Amino acid sequence: MLDVIRSILLYSWRKYDYVILRYLMGTAYLPSPIHKIAYKFFAIWVPKSNFMFFLDVSQEEAYKRIMHTRKMLEMFESLEELEKIRRRALTLALMGNWKIVDANKPITDVHGKLIEALKLKKTE
């Protein structure tokens, strides 16, 4: 929580070309329905971009990637918990009008979708 407040105080006044935002989706880990309330609260205060992307992966793909990069799992990294968190995060992404991108695909495909979406957004 303190890292969120620190980031808001230090960086919200600066102008950047990009913002990597994990704080809003971090609220998906909170119990239901608190996650929605926390999301709405942080959405007011956390710096945001005009281009909000949610890189969606299935719980199976997320688990596979976690197992490939680490030996120890965290408490939210079982298939059951990943599925629950994914559902909550997708709900939040829809609430916040995020562009949902299928990130189960190879990184080059995901990159292409992001570039395509940015180009479309720029012409709007």
Q: Going from the N-terminus, what domains does the chain have, and what CATH number goes with each?
A: 2-123 (3.40.50.300)
pLDDT in tens, 22-47: 778 889 999 999 999 999 998 888 77
And the tokens for 51? 């281009």
H helical segments located in 1-124: 2-11, 23-26, 34-45, 59-69, 79-95, 107-123
Residues of the chain with pLDDT > 70, as a percent, come to 81
Longest CA pairwise span in the chain (Å): 45
Q: What is the pTM of this model?
A: 0.77
Tell me how far apart the alpha carbons of residues 37 and 79 are, in angstroms, rounded to a whole number. 25
* Listed residue (10, 17, 21, 11) closest to 96, CA to CA: 21
Write the DSSP symbol of residue 101: E
DSSP 53: E
Q: What is the pLDDT of residues 52-90, one digit of tens each?
A: 899 999 999 999 999 999 888 888 899 999 999 999 999
Residue pair 32/88 in contact (Cβ under 8 Å)? The answer is yes
